[in-house]
Amino acid sequence: MSELPNLVLDHLATGRDLASQAIAAVAPLLEPLEPVLFREAFGKPAWMWLAFLALVLLLLAFDLGILHRRSRAIGVRESLALSAGYILVALAFGAWVWSSLGPEAGLNYLTGFFVEKSLAMDNVFVIAMILGYFAIPRQYHHLVLFWGILGVIVLRAIMIGLGAALIAEFHWVLYLFGAFLIVTGAKMLLFASHEKASLGGNPVLRLLQRRLRVTDRLHGERFFVRLPDPETGRPLLWATPLFLALVLIELADLVFAVDSVPAVFAITQDPFVVYTSNIFAILGLRALYFALAAMIHRFRYLKYALALVLLFIGNKIFLAELVGKIPPLVSLSVTLGLFAGGVLFSLWRTSRDNERTAPSSEHRGQPLRSQR
C-alpha cells in the first residue's frame, strides 16, 4: 500500500518526460510557421484566432458528429444540459481571457457575452416562428440550427471586422452606434406590445419562392433534391422548405446582429473580445433553443428588459465623455441585473395572467347554463 504513491509519482514523471519529448519533436516543425502564428491580426496574434476557431469547430463537430449524429427531437432536459455545457466552456474561455489579457478584458468579455445572450433570446422566438411556419418537424430543428451557426460564424466575422475597421479609422462612428442603440431601445420599449411578426408577406421569402424551384413538402433532412421537371421530365435541382427556413434564420440573425454587434462594441473595442463573446453566446443559446421554444409564452415581457439593456449601453458611450469611463464591473452588474429582473418579472407576470384567465375551481368542470 505504501508503494502506491511512489508508483503514481513514477507514472506522472514518465508522462511528463513523454510530453517533453513530444514538444521537442514537434517544435522544429512549427518553427517555419512561427512568423505566421505570431503575426498580428486585429490587435491579437494569429494563433489566438486560430485556437478559438479550432475550439468552436471542435465543439460543433462533437455536437453534430457524436451527440446528434442521427436526426431526432431534443427534449428540454437534454437542451438544458447541452446549454449548460456550452456556458461552462464559454466561462472557462472567459477565465483564460482574464488571465491572459487582464481583468478588464475578462470583465468586458463576460459583459459582452451576457449582453449578446440576452439580446439573442429575442432571436429564439423568431426562429421558433420560422420553423413553425414551414412546419419543420422537431427532429430536424437541430440540423437547421447547426448549419445556421456556421453562417453566423462567417457573417459575424465580416460585420465585426468592418465595425472594428470603421472605429479605428473614424472614432466618431462609436457615437453613431450609441445613438442607434438608444433609438432602438426606446422604440423597443414603446412599441414592444404592438409588434406582430408575420412571414406571409416577407419580401425575401417571396423572392426565393419566385426565383427557386421549391418542393411543396420536405424530403427528410435534405436542403436540395433532384426531381423531374413537371413539363419536360428532366431531373432538376429543387430547394426544399428546409432550405427556405435556413435562409430566413440566417437573415433573422443578420437583422439581430445590427443591434447586438454595436452593443458589444459599446462595451469594448477589442475585436477579439467582441467576436469571441458573440460566438460563444450564440452557440449556447442555440442549444437552449429547444427548452425556450417550449415556453415562449412565459417570456412575453422580456423585451422590455432587453430595451433597457440597449438604452443603458447606448448611454454608456456618452456618459463616458461626461463622467469618465464606467468600470467594466458596473456594466456587467447592470446588464445581469436588468436581464435577471426581466426574466423574473416575465415569469411572475405571465403566471398571474394565467391564474386570472384560468376558470375558478368551483366552476371548473360544470356545464354552462344557457341564459334566456
Rounded to 5°, the CA angle 146-148-154 comes to 115
Instruction: Give the pLDDT mean for 49-72.
Output: 79
Map residue 207 onto helix, strand or coil: helix
118 has a pLDDT exceeding 70 = yes
73 has a pLDDT exceeding 70 = no
Higher pLDDT pick, 143 / 285: 143
Selection from 245, 339, 241 nearest residue 285 by Cα: 339
Question: What per-residue confidence (pLDDT) applies to 139?
Answer: 82
- Phi and psi of 196, rounded to 5°? -130, 110
* pLDDT band at 370; cut points 50, 70, 90: very low
DSSP structure class, residue 327: P
Instruction: Give the pLDDT mean for 79-84.
Output: 82
The pLDDT tens digits of the residues spanning 278-318 come to 899 888 777 777 777 666 667 777 778 888 888 888 888 78
350 has a pLDDT exceeding 90 = no
Least trusted range by pLDDT, from 37-46, 256-265, 267-276: 37-46
197 has a pLDDT exceeding 70 = no
Instruction: Give the pLDDT mean for 266-275.
Output: 89
Selection from 246, 348, 343, 325 nearest residue 288 by Cα: 343
Instruction: Give the pLDDT mean for 320-331.
Output: 77
Burial 312-349 (b: 16+ CB within 10 A, else e): bbbbbbeeeeeeeebebeebbebbbebbeebbeebbee
**What mean pLDDT, rounded, does the chain reach?**
78
Determine contact, residues 267/250, Cβ cutoff 8 Å.
no
The pLDDT tens digits of the residues spanning 213-225 come to 888 888 888 899 9
Instruction: Give the pLDDT mean for 200-217.
Output: 82
